[in-house]
């Protein structure tokens, strides 16, 4: 939670700096952002590759556990697709790309900004922050009515870190392991899925 | 897209070289945090200087909340089915 506040603080600081109109002109901030994205991609890769858990979880648990992230991906993307019926101004591709952040707002908003547009980047930032906050608040109720996987599903990629404590508390310790596994799988998939959705020619 | 996936894969390969070296992990996490701060700050600047975004902030917020609520609902409902058929039997 604290780290999301810091990240959101940097975003707000940028907005205020932009609004002030006092930024030095002549710099191409978008191009700068593009290089920053490559840096972020590389560093995100390093953290995935160097984490023993990323590889261990894949082999340790039985086949059932793999259905958890699969279900979350299908459910999330189906939900995102339905949104285009309610909000016709959103295209299917845009809605799916935002949904495919699975709560990982920092990476997904940065990606979507660079690969699509600023306005969709902001949608992704707010939407995925909201997913994390909603999970923190609603997990007790969701678990009660929809079973022990509900908090993990709602948390998406955040189930491995920020929403893990609340999931562990309401679904139990044994589900904490499933939460970490599912969160890791979704976190790894975010950059791939968002890129695929936004660049796939079809 | 290819460039991005190549950069990501290069990162993963480099990450494999530093498995079990906690100091490197800590350093990488610091860099990763600051790269995220930098990108979000830049995103903020783009937003602040972008009239279209500022003028449509209501619509953007509405879309954001709609996507998150319906996505959560979709994944939670499917997870309830999965729970019922595969996981519930393990509970005592």
pLDDT at A58: 56
Write the residue in A6, A72, A128 that is nearest to B75 by C-beta. A72
Of these ranges, A45-54, A97-106, A165-174, the one predicted with the greatest mean pLDDT is A97-106
> Which of B83, B33, B71, B35 minimizes the C-alpha distance to A132?
B71
Same domain for B14 and B34, yes or no, is yes
pLDDT of residue A1 exceeding 60: no
What is the distance between the alpha carbons of residues A145 and A36, in angstroms, rounded to a whole number? 43
Question: CA-CA distance, A162 to A2, in Å (whole number)?
Answer: 9
**Disruptive mutation site among B79, B81, B86, B91 for chain A (greatest number of A CBs within 10 Å):** B79
Q: How far is CA A142 from the centre of its chain?
A: 20
Whether residues B24 and B67 fall in one domain? no
- Would you state the torsion angle of the CA atoms of residues B55, B59, B61, B65, taken in this order, to the nearest 10 degrees? -170
> What is the SS3 assignment for A161?
coil
Are residue B44 and residue B60 in the same domain, yes or no?
Answer: no
Determine the pLDDT at residue B1: 52
Burial (Cβ within 10 Å: 0-12, 13-18, ≥19) of residue A31: exposed
CB–CB contact A40 B36 (8 Å): yes
Mark whether B38 and B16 lie in a shared domain: yes
Of A30, A71, A77, the CB nearest to B82: A71
Give CA–CA dist A78/B70, Å, rounded: 9
B62 plus B92 within the same structural domain: yes
Here the tokens at position B39 are 């990108």
Q: Give yes or no: residues B73 and B44 share one domain.
A: no
B56 vs A51, A119, A142: nearest CB = A119
Q: Are residues B27 and B66 in the same domain?
A: no
Co-location of B8 and B36 in the same domain: yes
Interface of A with B in 35-74 (CB under 8 A): 36-52, 64, 67-68, 71-72, 74
Q: Are residues B42 and B61 in the same domain?
A: no
Q: What is the mean pLDDT of residues A64-85?
A: 96
Instruction: Write the pLDDT tens digit of every residue in B35-78.
Output: 878 877 887 887 788 777 788 889 999 999 999 999 999 999 99
Are B44 and B5 part of one and the same domain?
yes
Average pLDDT, chain B: 86
- Among A111-115, A143-147, B3-7, where is mean pLDDT lowest? B3-7
Residue B5 sits in the same domain as residue B30: yes
Separation CA A142–CA A179 (nearest Å) = 15
Q: Minimal CA–CA distance to A187: which of A71, A79, A44?
A: A44
Residue % of chain A over a pLDDT of 70:
91
A39: left (phi over 0), alpha (psi -120 to 50) or beta: alpha
Q: Which pLDDT band, with edges at 50, 70 and 90, does A38 fall under?
A: confident
**Measured between CB atoms, does B72 come within 8 Å of chain A?**
yes
Is A11–B40 a contact, with Cβ atoms under 8 angstroms apart? Answer: yes
pLDDT-derived band of residue B4, with 50, 70 and 90 as boundaries?
low
Q: How many domains does chain B have?
A: 2
Q: ipTM more than 0.90?
A: no
Q: For residue A60, what pLDDT band results from cuts at 50, 70 and 90?
A: low
Half-sphere exposure of B22 (CA within 13 A, CB side): 0
B2 close to A (CB below 8 A): no
Residue B42 Cα distances to A64, A115, B13, B65, angstroms: 42, 15, 28, 23
Cα gap A198→B75, rounded to integer Å = 21
User: Do B23 and B66 sit in the same domain of this protein?
Assistant: no
- pLDDT-derived band of residue A116, with 50, 70 and 90 as boundaries? very high
Which tens digits make up the pLDDT trace of A3-30? 667 877 888 898 899 888 887 777 777 6
Alpha-carbon distance values, A102 to A31, A120, B30 (Å): 26, 15, 23
Domain extent for B16: 1-49
């Amino acid at each position: 939670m604290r780290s999301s506040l810091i990240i959101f603080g940097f975003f707000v600081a940028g907005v205020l700096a932009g609004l002030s109109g006092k930024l030095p002109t002549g710099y191409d901030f978008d191009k700068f952002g593009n290089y920053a994205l490559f840096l972020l991609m590389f560093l995100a890769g390093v953290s995935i590759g160097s984490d023993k858990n990323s590889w261990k979880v894949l082999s340790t648990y039985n086949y059932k556990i793999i259905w958890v992230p699969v279900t979350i991906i299908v459910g999330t993307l189906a939900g995102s697709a339905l949104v285009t019926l309610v909000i016709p101004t959103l295209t299917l591709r845009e809605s799916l790309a935002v949904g495919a952040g699975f709560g990982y707002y920092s990476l997904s908003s940065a990606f979507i900004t660079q690969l699509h547009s600023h306005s969709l980047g902001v949608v992704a930032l707010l939407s995925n922050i909201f997913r994390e906050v909603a999970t923190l608040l609603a997990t007790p109720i969701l678990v009660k009515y929809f079973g022990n996987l509900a908090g993990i599903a709602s948390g998406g990629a955040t189930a491995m870190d920020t929403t893990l404590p609340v999931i562990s508390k309401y679904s139990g310790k044994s589900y904490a392991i499933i939460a970490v596994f599912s969160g890791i799988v979704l976190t790894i998939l975010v950059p791939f899925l968002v890129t695929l959705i936004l660049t796939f020619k079809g | 897209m290819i460039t991005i996936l190549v950069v990501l894969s290069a990162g993963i390969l480099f990450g494999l070289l530093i498995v079990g070296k906690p100091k490197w992990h800590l350093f990488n996490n610091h860099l990763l945090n600051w790269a995220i701060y930098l990108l979000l700050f830049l995103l903020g600047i783009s937003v602040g200087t972008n009239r279209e975004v500022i003028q449509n902030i209501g619509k953007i917020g509405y879309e954001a909340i709609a996507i998150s609520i319906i996505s959560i609902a979709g994944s939670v409902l499917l997870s309830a089915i999965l729970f019922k058929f595969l996981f519930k039997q393990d509970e005592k």
